[in-house]
Structure 1
Amino acid sequence: MSVRRLADESVQPASFAFTKENESWARAKMAQYPAGRQQSAVIPLLMRAQDQDGWITRATIEHIATMLGMAYIRVLEVATFYTQFQLAPVGSRAHVQLCGTTPCMLRGAEELRSVCQRKIHHDPHTLSEDGTLSWEEVECLGACVNAPMVAIFHDTYEDLTPQRLEEIIDEFQAGRGDQVPAGPQIKRSYGAPEAGRTTLLIEPTAKREKFVPPPAPEAPAAAAPAAAPVAAAPAPAKKEAPAPTTPGRKREVSEEAAPALKAPARAKKVSVEKAEAERKAADASAKANGEPARAMRPTATGAESKAGKLDGGASVLLFAAPEGATRDDLKMISGVGPVLEGKLNAIGIITFAQVAAMKKVDIARLEAHLAFPGRVERDDWIKQAKALAKGGEAEYIRVFGKKPR
């Protein structure tokens, strides 16, 4: 939007005052707003002042600001932001606002512009020789179906031709603008088709009839019971294949299907035994290098592991919680929510220090049990837990530059 400024001081009047009628109207308008919210009336009051004098002067802005208890700059901001407010003198009898947006342009707005330049002045926002007329080009005026069009003060004149616009300008210049009918300048009603209505041709009536559904057909009379047939020998029962299962629903399985279902458990057993071997190797390496002992040890027995409880039973402790330790809020680790925190507590992980001390074998065991491979490394649990175990939230903020979630 172009820069809008007040008119030059040479044309600014020394003062402004509402007429008696407009003053009463302005006070009534201000009273419509809640106590302390009278400043909300700034736009209506500016429009009323513009209707009275034709444009917004510096004195107008100062007067309205005083009435509403506003700083002058606040009222100036409103007046210069909205293009509906004229900041320089306009024609005393007509200020023509020509729509130049695409629909009007396609229907002849450029020819209407030539009429304004010829009949009023070559340049917009410039008074005619007798000071009665002025014009400007504006954005859409909201009646595209009746393009091209102009607005003069509060009325629009639509379906224009260059000849018809010249006639309208002449009438306003002669002081007979109130005799020019506003709206479409051809034989049409508002935005209706030029040839007349094509839809909703039947006039509605106020009569309403309640719909009553027809009665249902009567059921046929029941037939007499037939003689009972001789019972036939029951057919041998067929062995049905087990129905497919859905998630979260248990079903009974036959002995033939049991071995197939046990296969995944054996696969898990192998992965856990491999993880245990890696843990022992890591422990031996740590001991040889003089590293401190690990804070977690598996507590499941070999029998439990063979039975599959280590991998599937939520009640089995995979890690030994430190004796007498207070539970930390593991949800402070990004990536751990309430549900996951409960699962970690159930397998023995209750402190940040336990998570911070986890080795690769511990991570493998944890992720195999909770079925989310790569989660610990992806969310950087170890680094987060180390910071929280060392200094809580303050240390976390120092390391990561933000608060833990």
Structure 2
Amino acid sequence: MSVRRLAEASVQPASFAFNKANTAAAKKWIAKYPKGRQQSAIIPLLMLAQEQEGWVTKAAIESVCDMLDMPYIRGLEVATFYTQYQLKPVGTRAHIQVCGTTPCMLRGAGELMDVCRSKIHHEQFHTNAAGTLSWEEVECLGACVNAPMVMVFKDTYEDLTPERLAEIIDAFEAGKGASVKPGPQVDRFYSAPAGGFIALKDEKAVLKATRDKQAKAAAKAAEVPPSNAAKPSTDKAETNPSLKAPAKPKPKPAAEAISPAPAFDKKKADQAEPAVEAVKGKQRTRPIPPQGAASAYKAPEMLKGEPIGVAGKVVAKPAKPSLEDKNRPKGIEKPVAVDDLQLISGVGPKNEKILHDLGIFTFAQVAAWKKAEREWVDAYLNFHGRIEREDWTKQAKALAKGGVAEYIRVFGKKPV
């Protein structure tokens, strides 16, 4: 696939604005995403712009980015990545996208491109003389089972032959594209085998209503009929279990008998010679584990602050640093205006509350932390160096200086 670039400046319109209907649709799309994540609406908004203009213009990309408060370069990255967006004027009645990935190419995509060259234009991204048709080769369109196939705007046409594609192009050229049924162009049920639909011909067996009916029948069959119910017993021993004689315990088979473990002799274990294990022509020794009852073995003590495996000892998690530690950052009383610390990458609602509990409420406080203070907070949050990796102080300095705008200037993106 060739590099995708915006159309030349000579064909770019000076401005763009959504019409009334698309403005309302854009607002609905933006409202689908939570606060702070509105930039996720870039894909549907660019599609709305394309449907309105026929292609995605530079002015449209910038207008959408302004609506979503995102840098223009981010919008340009999305528009140039996805082949669903047309970056140059295309045919007003049909733009044919021919899949050229391996499955389609093996099944005749090359012949489909020859049809486009003969009926539309010998070069891609050029319209026919009337400006009504255009075509291009694209990467996989996701219908490999039905190869070869093409996409016209939002619809796919699959299982094509050169003759059938020529008929479809003629229909769109005549303004009758809506009459062409999308999907497989042969006698095939969606992506079922070409020889006929053989799997799950009847969906009745897997419907919820069928499953519920089967479950009720199974439950009813499990019930004991009243005629077969046992009659009340008149035997006092049966009605009062305490009157029954205790059952004698069955003797265990000899094979299941367990011999008592030998007593553990620590002196012998300490004096035992180490076993020798050959490794690549060399010898190394490994201690023989203590023999005897499992209860005689004492696990190593849990040591704080020492990595696991050092000197063969099992250790616990490092303890949190003391709140009385001299390296703890100095806290302040909660001010009237509290900064949104969650704008710092790595600070979520839970960590923000912990910082508030420590008396940290502003970006300026975080920006002023020294190395020892950063290490103390990192250990207190059990972050394993994350504060240094994500450079909280640099983020806080930018936010303290100029808010989100300064953050974008420094880091090239909005805080997330």
With the shorter chain as reference, the TM-score category is: 0.5 to 0.7
Distance 1:196 1:242 in 2: 61
5 Å matches for 1:65-84? 65-84=65-84
8 A Cα contact 2:116 2:135, kept in partner: yes
Is there any run of 5+ residues in structure 2 with no aligned partner, and where?
230-253, 275-295, 317-384, 386-416
Q: CA deviation at 1:197?
A: 2.8
State how 1:121-200 maps to structure 2 within 5 Å: 121-200=121-200
Structure 2 residue aligned with 1:371: none
In the other structure, the counterpart of 2:238 is none
Rounded to whole Å, the distance in 2 between the matches of 1:104 and 1:28 is 37
Q: 1:131 to 1:200 in 2, by over 3 A?
A: same
User: What's the offset of the Cα at 1:86?
Assistant: 1.5
**Cα distance, 1:162 vs. partner?**
0.4
Aligned length, in residue pairs: 262
2:306 aligned residue (317, 331, 337): 331
Distance 2:269 2:313 in 1: 30
1:69 positional shift: 2.2
Aligned residue identity for 1:331:
E
- Shift in Å, 1:337: 6.4
SS of the residue 1:136 aligns to: strand
Q: CA deviation at 1:191?
A: 2.0
SS at match of 2:310: coil
Q: CA deviation at 1:204?
A: 1.8
Corresponding residue SS for 1:204: helix
SS in 1 for 2:314: helix
For 1:177 and 1:165, how far apart are their aligned partners in 2?
A: 12
Whether the 8 Å contact between 1:120 and 1:127 is mirrored in structure 2 is yes
Q: Could you state the TM-score of these two structures normalised by the residue count of structure 1?
A: 0.55
CA distance in 1, matches of 2:10, 2:304: 73
Q: CA RMSD in A?
A: 3.9
Contact 1:99 1:141 in 2 (8 A): yes
Q: Deviations over 1:347-400 (max 9, x none)?
A: xxxxxxxxxxxxxxxxxxxxxxxxxxxxxxxxxxxxxxxxxxxxxxxxxxxxxx
- Counterpart-to-counterpart distance in 2, 1:332 and 1:199: 57
The residue type paired with residue 153 of structure 1 is F
Following superposition of structure 1 onto structure 2, how do residues 219-368 of structure 1 map, counting pairs within 5 Å?
Answer: 251=260, 269=271, 331=306, 335-336=310-311, 339=314
Cα distance in 2, alignment partners of residues 241 and 33 from structure 1: 67
Alignment partners' CA distance in 1, 2:42 and 2:196: 43
TM-aligned CA distance change 1:67 to 1:203, over 3 Å: closer
The amino acid that maps onto 2:14 is A
Q: Could you tell me which residue of structure 1 aligns to residue 9 of structure 2?
A: 9
1:18 counterpart residue number: 18
C-alpha separation in 2, matches of 1:243 and 1:172: 87
Moved over 4 A (4+): 213-218, 240-245, 264-268
Q: Shift in Å at residue 340 of structure 1?
A: 7.3
Q: By how many angstroms is 1:329 displaced?
A: 6.2
Q: Note the C-alpha offset of 1:181.
A: 1.1
Q: Which amino acid aligns with 2:306?
A: K
- 198-207 or 173-182: bigger deviation: 198-207
Question: For residue 48 of structure 2, what is the amino acid of its counterpart?
Answer: R
CA distance in 2: counterparts of 1:144 and 1:333, whole angstroms = 51
Partner of 1:90: 90
Match of 1:61 in 2: 61
Change (3 A) 1:70 1:243: same
In the alignment, structure 1 segments of 5+ residues that lack a partner are 219-239, 246-250, 273-312, 316-327, 342-402
Partner of 2:286: none
Name the SS of the counterpart of 2:23 in structure 1.
helix
Could you tell me how far 1:2 is from its partner in structure 2?
A: 4.6
Taking the aligned partners of 1:44 and 1:50, their CA distance within structure 2 comes to 10
Q: Percent identity?
A: 56
C-alpha change, 1:339 and 1:4, in structure 2 (3 Å) is same
Equivalent-residue separation in structure 2 for 1:265 and 1:241 (angstroms):
33
Task: State whether residues 307 and 315 of structure 2, in contact with CA within 8 Å, keep that contact through their aligned partners in structure 1.
Answer: no
